[in-house]
Amino acid sequence: MTIAGGTIGGGPRAADAGTWEGSGVATQIWVLALRSLRALVLDPRILVSSLLAPFLMLLVFSQIFAGIANTPQFPAGVGYTDFLVPAIMVNTAMQSAMQTGIGLTQETQNGIIARLRSLPIWPGSILVGRSIAELIRSLLRLVVLLASALLIFGFRPAGGAGGVLAGIGLAALLGWGLGWIFIALTCWLREVELIQNVSGILLFPLMFASNAFVPVEALPRWLQVVAVINPMTHGIDAVRDLTHRGDAGGSAAVAVATALAVAVVAGFTAVKGLERDS
């Protein structure tokens, strides 16, 4: 037995045992993403309510704005449901992204984030893991939305199955990328009610100052200017192109580039906000 050398009976050195620095970043993200997904499974009420929300939105807006299909500015030969569904897809992804921020705020207030921060892990793993979990939930919500649109609302995408699948992927990517804005806000504000209010203020103009529910040409002149620079407009255009034609033009490139740029900048800001108390 050599206490000075750090061994007892030939066992591992105590110093070596104390130098464990945690698992790799990929493993951290995977484990934390599974932890967030497990919470959905353990509380089916959250899952069911999140799946019903897009269906109800499609039901309400398809009835309220159906008359717009008869206006001169509306695209010829396109039914209003076919026009609306891609917008609801993007909105659904954005709603899931907003829930990421709210969920993180709740975990910050109940001490879960503090306990995770006490572990030897990269702080960004907590945020990336949560965002991946919400991305998976977003994909599930989009599948339910598309199934409802096809079976109940008569949605008939001319772009075929390939276009629809690509549209789902693009909508989810757009929601995930822009969703980092809500994560960054969470890491700096850290109040559930404040996050809900600010997120709503941000999401409202993104959706309604766009071509989500009416063509850009039908908007007032000043709002057309806002809609043209709104990243949601380009994302919705790209998803419409995919579902209607099976391909996407420049709008898809703009939407993807914007989502990735926002994810990088807001992700860096979010990690700095999470680290600021350390």
- Return per-residue pLDDT of the chain as tens, 278 residues: 443 444 334 444 444 455 555 678 888 889 888 888 887 767 777 777 777 888 888 888 888 888 888 888 788 778 889 999 999 999 988 888 888 888 888 888 888 888 888 888 888 888 999 899 888 888 988 998 999 899 998 898 888 889 999 999 999 999 899 889 988 988 888 787 888 888 888 888 888 889 999 889 888 899 999 999 888 898 999 999 999 888 877 788 888 898 999 999 999 999 888 887 54
Residue 16 falls inside a structural domain: no
Q: Is residue 91 part of a domain?
A: yes
Residue 253 forms part of a structural domain: yes
Residue 3 lies in a domain: no
Q: Which two tokens stand for residue 5?
A: 């050398």
Flag whether 2 is in a domain.
no
pLDDT of residue 70: 82
CA 112/CA 230 separation, integer angstroms:
36
* Cβ atoms of residues 237 and 215 within 8 Å: no
Do residues 104 and 186 make contact, with C-beta atoms less than 8 angstroms apart? yes
The pLDDT, as a whole number, for residue 239 is 93
Positive or negative torsion for Cα 162, 165, 169, 175: positive
CB within 8 A of 205, min separation 6: which ones?
Answer: 226, 230
Q: What's the domain count of the chain?
A: 1
pLDDT value at position 2? 40
Q: Is 215 among the domain residues?
A: yes
CB 120 within 8 A of CB 20: yes
Please, are residues 148 and 55 in contact by the beta-carbon 8 Å criterion? yes
Paired tokens of 250: 């420049």
Q: By residue range, what is the domain housing residue 43?
A: 24-275
**194 alpha carbon, distance to own chain's centre:** 19
CA distance 182 to 250: 26
pLDDT at 110: 81
- Angle among Cα 44, 177, 167 to the nearest 5 degrees reads 75
User: What is the Rg, in whole angstroms, of the alpha carbon atoms belonging to the chain?
Assistant: 22
Q: Residue 11 falls within a domain, yes or no?
A: no
Note whether 104 and 113 are within 8 A (CB).
yes
12 lies in some domain: no
Buried b (16+ CB within 10 A) or exposed e, 124-161: bbbbbbbbbbbbebbbebbebbbebbeeebebebebee
